[in-house]
Homo-oligomer: A and B are copies of this chain.
Amino acid sequence: MVVALYVQKFGGTSVGTPDRIREVADHAARCVKRGDQVVLVVSAMGKETDELLRLAGDVSTSKPGREMDMLITGGERKACALVAMALTDLGIESESFTGSQAGFLTDTTHRNAKILEVNPRRIADAVAAGKVPVVGGSQGVSTDHDVTFFGRGGSDTTAVALAHALDADACELYTDVPGVFTTDPRLVPEARKMDHISFDELLEMTATGCPKPAMRSVELARSYGVKLHVRSAFSWVPGTWVSEEPSMENAIISAVTHDTSEAKMTVSGVPDQPGVAAKLFRSLADADVNVDTIVQNVSDAGATDISFTLPHDQVSAATTTVDALVAEIGAKGVVTDTGIGRVSLTGAGMQTNPGVAATMFETLSTSGINIEMISTSAIRISCVVREDQADQAVTVLHAAFELDKAPADRSDI
Protein backbone atom coordinates (compact mmCIF):
# COMPACT_ATOMS: atom_id res chain seq x y z
CA MET A 1 0.00 0.00 0.00
CA VAL A 2 1.28 3.44 -0.89
CA VAL A 3 0.99 5.79 2.07
CA ALA A 4 0.20 9.40 1.18
CA LEU A 5 1.27 12.34 3.35
CA TYR A 6 -1.09 15.30 3.60
CA VAL A 7 -0.58 18.62 5.32
CA GLN A 8 -4.07 19.77 6.34
CA LYS A 9 -4.68 23.35 7.40
CA PHE A 10 -7.79 24.33 9.37
CA GLY A 11 -8.72 28.00 9.73
CA GLY A 12 -10.10 29.91 12.69
CA THR A 13 -13.76 29.09 12.00
CA SER A 14 -12.97 25.37 11.77
CA VAL A 15 -11.46 25.40 15.29
CA GLY A 16 -13.75 28.13 16.67
CA THR A 17 -15.48 26.07 19.38
CA PRO A 18 -14.80 22.90 21.42
CA ASP A 19 -17.30 21.04 19.17
CA ARG A 20 -15.54 22.19 16.02
CA ILE A 21 -12.16 21.22 17.45
CA ARG A 22 -13.47 17.72 18.06
CA GLU A 23 -14.80 17.60 14.48
CA VAL A 24 -11.37 18.57 13.11
CA ALA A 25 -9.81 15.82 15.22
CA ASP A 26 -12.43 13.36 13.99
CA HIS A 27 -11.68 14.27 10.38
CA ALA A 28 -7.92 13.79 10.85
CA ALA A 29 -8.52 10.53 12.72
CA ARG A 30 -10.53 9.16 9.79
CA CYS A 31 -7.74 10.06 7.38
CA VAL A 32 -5.27 8.21 9.59
CA LYS A 33 -7.57 5.19 9.85
CA ARG A 34 -7.89 4.93 6.09
CA GLY A 35 -4.08 4.79 5.89
CA ASP A 36 -2.91 8.35 5.25
CA GLN A 37 -0.22 10.21 7.15
CA VAL A 38 -1.47 13.58 8.33
CA VAL A 39 0.17 16.75 9.61
CA LEU A 40 -2.25 19.42 10.86
CA VAL A 41 -1.73 23.18 10.83
CA VAL A 42 -4.24 25.30 12.76
CA SER A 43 -5.12 28.96 13.06
CA ALA A 44 -6.25 30.68 16.26
CA MET A 45 -9.80 29.90 17.43
CA GLY A 46 -12.53 32.03 15.84
CA LYS A 47 -12.06 35.70 16.68
CA GLU A 48 -9.18 35.14 19.13
CA THR A 49 -6.60 37.06 17.09
CA ASP A 50 -8.94 40.07 16.98
CA GLU A 51 -9.45 39.82 20.73
CA LEU A 52 -5.71 39.73 21.39
CA LEU A 53 -5.25 42.78 19.14
CA ARG A 54 -8.00 44.62 21.03
CA LEU A 55 -6.40 43.68 24.36
CA ALA A 56 -3.02 45.00 23.16
CA GLY A 57 -4.75 48.24 22.14
CA ASP A 58 -6.34 48.51 25.60
CA VAL A 59 -2.94 48.14 27.28
CA SER A 60 -0.52 49.90 24.99
CA THR A 61 -0.17 52.64 22.41
CA SER A 62 3.33 51.74 21.24
CA LYS A 63 2.60 48.04 20.69
CA PRO A 64 6.19 47.03 19.85
CA GLY A 65 6.39 44.33 17.17
CA ARG A 66 8.42 41.84 19.20
CA GLU A 67 5.84 41.88 21.99
CA MET A 68 2.86 41.85 19.62
CA ASP A 69 4.22 38.67 18.05
CA MET A 70 4.72 37.04 21.46
CA LEU A 71 1.10 37.92 22.27
CA ILE A 72 -0.64 37.08 18.98
CA THR A 73 1.05 33.71 18.34
CA GLY A 74 -0.45 32.53 21.63
CA GLY A 75 -3.73 32.09 19.76
CA GLU A 76 -2.46 29.43 17.36
CA ARG A 77 -0.51 27.78 20.15
CA LYS A 78 -3.66 27.41 22.25
CA ALA A 79 -5.57 25.94 19.29
CA CYS A 80 -2.89 23.37 18.42
CA ALA A 81 -2.71 22.09 22.02
CA LEU A 82 -6.51 21.67 22.11
CA VAL A 83 -6.62 19.83 18.76
CA ALA A 84 -3.84 17.49 19.94
CA MET A 85 -5.88 16.76 23.09
CA ALA A 86 -8.99 16.00 21.03
CA LEU A 87 -6.99 13.59 18.85
CA THR A 88 -5.63 11.84 21.93
CA ASP A 89 -9.22 11.34 23.11
CA LEU A 90 -9.88 9.48 19.83
CA GLY A 91 -6.97 7.13 20.43
CA ILE A 92 -4.72 8.88 17.90
CA GLU A 93 -1.28 9.69 19.25
CA SER A 94 -0.72 13.39 18.70
CA GLU A 95 1.68 16.17 19.71
CA SER A 96 1.34 19.93 19.30
CA PHE A 97 4.23 22.07 18.09
CA THR A 98 4.85 25.81 18.10
CA GLY A 99 6.32 27.34 14.94
CA SER A 100 9.72 27.30 16.59
CA GLN A 101 9.42 23.63 17.57
CA ALA A 102 8.27 22.81 14.03
CA GLY A 103 11.50 24.29 12.67
CA PHE A 104 10.34 27.60 11.16
CA LEU A 105 13.34 29.94 11.14
CA THR A 106 12.46 33.49 10.08
CA ASP A 107 13.95 36.93 9.65
CA THR A 108 13.45 39.54 12.38
CA THR A 109 10.62 41.49 10.70
CA HIS A 110 8.07 41.31 13.48
CA ARG A 111 4.34 41.26 12.61
CA ASN A 112 5.18 40.15 9.08
CA ALA A 113 8.15 37.79 9.35
CA LYS A 114 9.50 36.00 6.29
CA ILE A 115 10.48 32.32 6.44
CA LEU A 116 14.22 31.77 5.90
CA GLU A 117 14.29 28.03 6.40
CA VAL A 118 12.06 25.15 7.51
CA ASN A 119 13.75 22.26 9.32
CA PRO A 120 10.81 20.07 10.30
CA ARG A 121 12.87 17.37 11.99
CA ARG A 122 10.54 17.02 14.98
CA ILE A 123 7.49 16.89 12.70
CA ALA A 124 9.04 14.22 10.48
CA ASP A 125 10.05 12.21 13.57
CA ALA A 126 6.52 12.41 14.96
CA VAL A 127 5.03 11.25 11.63
CA ALA A 128 7.55 8.40 11.44
CA ALA A 129 6.50 7.36 14.96
CA GLY A 130 2.88 7.13 13.81
CA LYS A 131 1.79 10.35 15.51
CA VAL A 132 -0.26 13.23 14.13
CA PRO A 133 1.68 16.48 14.69
CA VAL A 134 -0.46 19.60 15.13
CA VAL A 135 1.45 22.77 14.27
CA GLY A 136 0.52 26.31 15.35
CA GLY A 137 0.21 28.35 12.18
CA SER A 138 1.70 31.69 11.16
CA GLN A 139 4.67 31.60 13.53
CA GLY A 140 8.37 30.85 13.84
CA VAL A 141 11.52 31.84 15.66
CA SER A 142 13.79 34.58 14.35
CA THR A 143 17.54 34.56 13.86
CA ASP A 144 17.53 36.63 17.12
CA HIS A 145 15.76 33.71 18.89
CA ASP A 146 12.56 35.74 19.30
CA VAL A 147 9.02 34.59 18.53
CA THR A 148 7.79 35.88 15.17
CA PHE A 149 4.37 36.11 13.50
CA PHE A 150 3.80 35.81 9.74
CA GLY A 151 0.78 38.16 9.74
CA ARG A 152 -2.93 37.50 9.18
CA GLY A 153 -3.57 34.51 6.93
CA GLY A 154 -0.11 33.20 7.74
CA SER A 155 -1.35 29.71 8.63
CA ASP A 156 -1.81 29.00 4.91
CA THR A 157 1.84 29.93 4.44
CA THR A 158 2.86 27.61 7.29
CA ALA A 159 0.93 24.75 5.68
CA VAL A 160 2.40 25.26 2.20
CA ALA A 161 5.98 25.67 3.50
CA LEU A 162 5.61 22.56 5.64
CA ALA A 163 4.14 20.54 2.74
CA HIS A 164 7.17 21.51 0.65
CA ALA A 165 9.69 20.78 3.42
CA LEU A 166 8.12 17.38 4.15
CA ASP A 167 7.66 16.60 0.44
CA ALA A 168 3.97 15.98 1.12
CA ASP A 169 1.64 14.67 -1.59
CA ALA A 170 -0.62 17.69 -1.20
CA CYS A 171 -1.43 20.64 1.01
CA GLU A 172 -5.13 20.68 1.88
CA LEU A 173 -6.56 24.04 2.89
CA TYR A 174 -9.85 23.49 4.70
CA THR A 175 -12.35 26.35 4.74
CA ASP A 176 -16.05 26.69 5.46
CA VAL A 177 -17.00 26.52 1.77
CA PRO A 178 -16.55 23.53 -0.57
CA GLY A 179 -13.91 25.10 -2.83
CA VAL A 180 -13.24 28.05 -5.12
CA PHE A 181 -16.33 29.29 -6.97
CA THR A 182 -16.91 31.06 -10.27
CA THR A 183 -18.33 33.89 -8.17
CA ASP A 184 -19.79 34.56 -4.72
CA PRO A 185 -22.46 31.83 -4.24
CA ARG A 186 -24.30 33.99 -1.71
CA LEU A 187 -24.80 36.58 -4.45
CA VAL A 188 -25.30 34.37 -7.49
CA PRO A 189 -27.06 31.07 -6.72
CA GLU A 190 -25.81 29.65 -10.05
CA ALA A 191 -22.19 30.06 -8.93
CA ARG A 192 -20.26 26.90 -9.79
CA LYS A 193 -17.50 25.24 -7.79
CA MET A 194 -14.40 24.81 -9.96
CA ASP A 195 -12.64 21.44 -9.89
CA HIS A 196 -9.35 23.00 -10.90
CA ILE A 197 -7.75 26.41 -11.18
CA SER A 198 -4.20 27.54 -11.93
CA PHE A 199 -2.03 29.40 -9.41
CA ASP A 200 -2.07 32.51 -11.62
CA GLU A 201 -5.83 32.62 -11.91
CA LEU A 202 -6.25 32.18 -8.16
CA LEU A 203 -3.78 34.98 -7.51
CA GLU A 204 -5.72 37.35 -9.76
CA MET A 205 -9.07 36.69 -8.09
CA THR A 206 -9.95 39.44 -5.65
CA ALA A 207 -10.97 38.55 -2.17
CA THR A 208 -14.56 39.57 -1.55
CA GLY A 209 -17.15 36.85 -1.44
CA CYS A 210 -14.82 34.11 -2.47
CA PRO A 211 -12.85 32.50 0.35
CA LYS A 212 -9.44 31.68 -0.97
CA PRO A 213 -5.98 30.99 0.40
CA ALA A 214 -3.81 33.92 1.45
CA MET A 215 -1.96 35.41 -1.54
CA ARG A 216 1.44 34.75 -0.05
CA SER A 217 0.77 31.04 0.41
CA VAL A 218 -0.42 30.69 -3.19
CA GLU A 219 2.74 32.41 -4.41
CA LEU A 220 4.81 30.07 -2.26
CA ALA A 221 2.95 27.01 -3.55
CA ARG A 222 3.51 28.18 -7.13
CA SER A 223 7.22 28.75 -6.51
CA TYR A 224 7.75 25.28 -5.03
CA GLY A 225 5.16 23.38 -7.04
CA VAL A 226 3.14 22.37 -3.96
CA LYS A 227 -0.25 20.98 -4.99
CA LEU A 228 -3.05 22.80 -3.17
CA HIS A 229 -6.48 21.43 -2.49
CA VAL A 230 -9.03 24.02 -1.26
CA ARG A 231 -11.92 22.12 0.30
CA SER A 232 -14.61 22.04 2.95
CA ALA A 233 -13.62 21.13 6.48
CA PHE A 234 -16.68 18.99 7.03
CA SER A 235 -17.29 17.09 3.83
CA TRP A 236 -15.45 14.34 1.97
CA VAL A 237 -16.37 15.77 -1.44
CA PRO A 238 -13.25 16.98 -3.28
CA GLY A 239 -12.90 20.76 -3.49
CA THR A 240 -10.82 22.78 -5.93
CA TRP A 241 -7.33 21.68 -6.90
CA VAL A 242 -4.80 24.40 -7.58
CA SER A 243 -1.68 23.63 -9.59
CA GLU A 244 0.65 24.95 -12.26
CA GLU A 245 -1.13 23.22 -15.14
CA PRO A 246 -3.66 25.28 -17.03
CA SER A 247 -7.16 23.98 -16.70
CA MET A 248 -7.74 20.70 -18.53
CA GLU A 249 -11.07 22.19 -19.46
CA ASN A 250 -9.36 25.14 -21.15
CA ALA A 251 -11.88 27.71 -20.00
CA ILE A 252 -11.49 31.25 -21.24
CA ILE A 253 -13.06 32.77 -18.15
CA SER A 254 -12.90 31.03 -14.81
CA ALA A 255 -14.49 33.45 -12.39
CA VAL A 256 -16.06 36.81 -11.71
CA THR A 257 -15.27 38.42 -8.37
CA HIS A 258 -15.89 41.73 -6.69
CA ASP A 259 -14.34 43.83 -3.98
CA THR A 260 -16.03 46.70 -2.16
CA SER A 261 -13.29 47.18 0.43
CA GLU A 262 -11.51 49.89 -1.51
CA ALA A 263 -11.81 53.61 -2.08
CA LYS A 264 -10.65 55.67 -5.05
CA MET A 265 -8.55 58.82 -4.90
CA THR A 266 -8.08 61.11 -7.90
CA VAL A 267 -5.35 63.75 -8.01
CA SER A 268 -6.43 66.22 -10.69
CA GLY A 269 -4.44 68.65 -12.82
CA VAL A 270 -1.12 66.91 -12.32
CA PRO A 271 1.62 68.44 -14.53
CA ASP A 272 2.53 65.92 -17.18
CA GLN A 273 6.23 65.83 -16.31
CA PRO A 274 8.64 62.98 -15.59
CA GLY A 275 9.02 62.12 -11.90
CA VAL A 276 5.71 63.49 -10.69
CA ALA A 277 3.93 60.13 -10.45
CA ALA A 278 7.04 58.57 -8.94
CA LYS A 279 7.08 61.22 -6.17
CA LEU A 280 3.39 60.65 -5.45
CA PHE A 281 3.57 56.86 -5.15
CA ARG A 282 6.88 56.85 -3.26
CA SER A 283 5.30 59.12 -0.63
CA LEU A 284 2.26 56.84 -0.41
CA ALA A 285 4.51 53.78 -0.05
CA ASP A 286 6.46 55.52 2.73
CA ALA A 287 3.13 56.13 4.50
CA ASP A 288 2.38 52.35 4.24
CA VAL A 289 -0.59 52.91 1.92
CA ASN A 290 -1.29 49.79 -0.18
CA VAL A 291 -2.18 51.26 -3.56
CA ASP A 292 -3.84 48.71 -5.82
CA THR A 293 -5.09 49.76 -9.27
CA ILE A 294 -3.51 52.90 -10.78
CA VAL A 295 -4.96 54.64 -13.83
CA GLN A 296 -3.56 57.75 -15.45
CA ASN A 297 -5.75 59.41 -18.05
CA VAL A 298 -4.35 60.86 -21.26
CA SER A 299 -2.75 64.22 -20.92
CA ASP A 300 -4.88 67.28 -21.69
CA ALA A 301 -3.09 70.62 -22.16
CA GLY A 302 0.00 69.55 -20.23
CA ALA A 303 -1.91 68.28 -17.18
CA THR A 304 -3.37 64.88 -16.36
CA ASP A 305 -5.51 63.14 -13.69
CA ILE A 306 -4.09 60.21 -11.73
CA SER A 307 -6.54 57.87 -9.98
CA PHE A 308 -5.75 54.97 -7.72
CA THR A 309 -7.58 52.59 -5.40
CA LEU A 310 -6.65 51.84 -1.81
CA PRO A 311 -8.21 50.13 1.25
CA HIS A 312 -10.88 52.21 3.06
CA ASP A 313 -8.97 52.22 6.32
CA GLN A 314 -5.92 53.81 4.70
CA VAL A 315 -7.81 56.77 3.23
CA SER A 316 -6.97 59.06 6.13
CA ALA A 317 -3.22 58.31 5.95
CA ALA A 318 -3.28 58.73 2.17
CA THR A 319 -5.18 62.03 2.38
CA THR A 320 -2.58 63.49 4.73
CA THR A 321 0.20 62.41 2.38
CA VAL A 322 -1.44 63.58 -0.84
CA ASP A 323 -2.64 66.91 0.60
CA ALA A 324 0.93 67.72 1.58
CA LEU A 325 2.10 66.94 -1.97
CA VAL A 326 -0.55 68.72 -4.05
CA ALA A 327 1.15 72.11 -3.93
CA GLU A 328 4.65 70.67 -4.25
CA ILE A 329 3.87 68.78 -7.46
CA GLY A 330 1.71 71.61 -8.82
CA ALA A 331 -1.56 69.64 -8.98
CA LYS A 332 -5.02 71.22 -8.76
CA GLY A 333 -6.60 69.10 -6.06
CA VAL A 334 -7.59 65.70 -4.76
CA VAL A 335 -10.97 63.95 -4.63
CA THR A 336 -11.69 60.85 -2.55
CA ASP A 337 -14.54 58.48 -3.40
CA THR A 338 -15.37 55.73 -0.94
CA GLY A 339 -18.45 54.52 -2.80
CA ILE A 340 -16.79 52.28 -5.37
CA GLY A 341 -16.80 48.56 -6.13
CA ARG A 342 -14.37 46.65 -8.27
CA VAL A 343 -15.60 43.80 -10.48
CA SER A 344 -13.06 41.47 -12.05
CA LEU A 345 -13.10 38.69 -14.63
CA THR A 346 -10.31 36.15 -14.28
CA GLY A 347 -9.25 33.52 -16.79
CA ALA A 348 -6.15 31.99 -18.28
CA GLY A 349 -7.51 32.14 -21.84
CA MET A 350 -8.28 35.84 -21.75
CA GLN A 351 -5.11 37.16 -23.34
CA THR A 352 -5.79 35.41 -26.66
CA ASN A 353 -9.47 36.30 -26.68
CA PRO A 354 -9.91 40.05 -27.19
CA GLY A 355 -13.67 39.57 -27.36
CA VAL A 356 -13.79 39.10 -23.59
CA ALA A 357 -13.25 42.77 -22.75
CA ALA A 358 -15.80 43.86 -25.33
CA THR A 359 -18.41 41.44 -24.00
CA MET A 360 -17.72 42.63 -20.44
CA PHE A 361 -18.13 46.33 -21.28
CA GLU A 362 -21.26 45.68 -23.39
CA THR A 363 -22.85 43.59 -20.67
CA LEU A 364 -22.30 46.27 -18.05
CA SER A 365 -23.49 49.01 -20.38
CA THR A 366 -26.69 47.13 -21.31
CA SER A 367 -27.45 46.86 -17.60
CA GLY A 368 -26.98 50.62 -17.13
CA ILE A 369 -23.78 50.20 -15.10
CA ASN A 370 -21.22 52.94 -15.69
CA ILE A 371 -17.53 52.00 -15.78
CA GLU A 372 -15.34 54.51 -13.93
CA MET A 373 -11.89 52.91 -14.20
CA ILE A 374 -10.50 49.97 -16.15
CA SER A 375 -7.34 48.00 -15.50
CA THR A 376 -6.16 44.75 -17.03
CA SER A 377 -3.51 42.07 -16.64
CA ALA A 378 -2.77 39.06 -18.80
CA ILE A 379 -5.45 37.01 -17.08
CA ARG A 380 -7.76 39.61 -15.50
CA ILE A 381 -9.95 42.57 -16.44
CA SER A 382 -11.19 44.81 -13.63
CA CYS A 383 -13.78 47.58 -13.83
CA VAL A 384 -14.46 50.09 -11.07
CA VAL A 385 -18.20 50.80 -10.81
CA ARG A 386 -20.50 52.40 -8.22
CA GLU A 387 -20.46 50.33 -5.04
CA ASP A 388 -24.26 49.86 -5.08
CA GLN A 389 -24.07 48.39 -8.60
CA ALA A 390 -21.27 45.91 -7.89
CA ASP A 391 -23.59 43.02 -6.93
CA GLN A 392 -25.69 43.53 -10.09
CA ALA A 393 -22.52 43.68 -12.19
CA VAL A 394 -21.36 40.32 -10.83
CA THR A 395 -24.74 38.73 -11.51
CA VAL A 396 -25.02 39.93 -15.12
CA LEU A 397 -21.41 39.03 -15.93
CA HIS A 398 -21.73 35.55 -14.41
CA ALA A 399 -24.76 34.96 -16.67
CA ALA A 400 -23.21 36.57 -19.77
CA PHE A 401 -20.15 34.34 -19.62
CA GLU A 402 -22.26 31.27 -18.75
CA LEU A 403 -20.11 30.50 -15.70
CA ASP A 404 -22.90 28.35 -14.27
CA LYS A 405 -22.18 25.81 -17.03
CA ALA A 406 -19.19 23.49 -17.24
CA PRO A 407 -16.59 25.09 -19.56
CA ALA A 408 -17.18 22.58 -22.38
CA ASP A 409 -20.87 23.48 -22.51
CA ARG A 410 -20.39 27.24 -22.86
CA SER A 411 -20.98 29.22 -26.08
CA ASP A 412 -18.06 30.73 -27.91
CA ILE A 413 -17.43 34.39 -27.15
Contacts and interface: CB of A to CB of B under 8 A. Distances in A.
Interface of A: 18, 21-22, 52, 55-56, 58-64, 66-68, 70-71, 74, 77-78, 80-82, 84-86, 88-89, 94-96, 98, 101, 122, 145, 147
Contacts of A60: 82, 85-86, 88-89
Given A58-B18, A96-B70, A101-B145, A63 B78 contact: no
Given A18-B58, A58-B18, A60-B88, A95 B66 contact: yes
A78 B67 contact: no
Contacts of A84: 64, 67, 70
Contact of A64 (B52, B61, B67, B88): B88
22 contacts: A18-B58, A18-B59, A56-B85, A59-B86, A60-B82, A60-B85, A60-B86, A60-B89, A62-B88, A63-B85, A64-B84, A64-B88, A66-B95, A68-B85, A70-B84, A70-B98, A71-B82, A74-B74, A74-B78, A74-B81, A101-B145, A122-B145
A395 B280 CA distance: 78
Given A21-B59, A58-B18, A101-B145, A68 B81 contact: yes
B22 A59 contact: yes
A81 B67 contact: yes
A96 B66 CA distance: 8
10 nearest interchain CB pairs? Answer: A60-B85, A70-B81, A71-B81, A18-B58, A18-B59, A67-B81, A74-B74, A67-B84, A62-B88, A67-B85
A89 B62 CA distance: 6
Nearest to A100: B100
A78 B52 contact: yes
A56 B52 CA distance: 19
A55 B21 CA distance: 11
B145 A55 contact: no
Looking at chain A's contact residues, the main secondary structure is helix
Contact of A85 (B18, B62, B80, B98): B62
Nearest to A58: B18
A64 B82 CA distance: 10
Contacts of A101: 145
Nearest to A76: B74
Nearest to A96: B70
Contact of A74 (B56, B68, B77, B85): B77
A123 to B, nearest CB: 13
A101 B86 CA distance: 28
A245 to B, nearest CB: 40
Contacts of A78: 52, 71, 74
A82 B61 contact: no
Nearest to A97: B70
Contacts of A74: 74, 77-78, 81
Contacts of A80: 70
A81 B86 CA distance: 28
Contacts of A89: 60-62
Nearest to A77: B74
A81 to B, nearest CB: 4
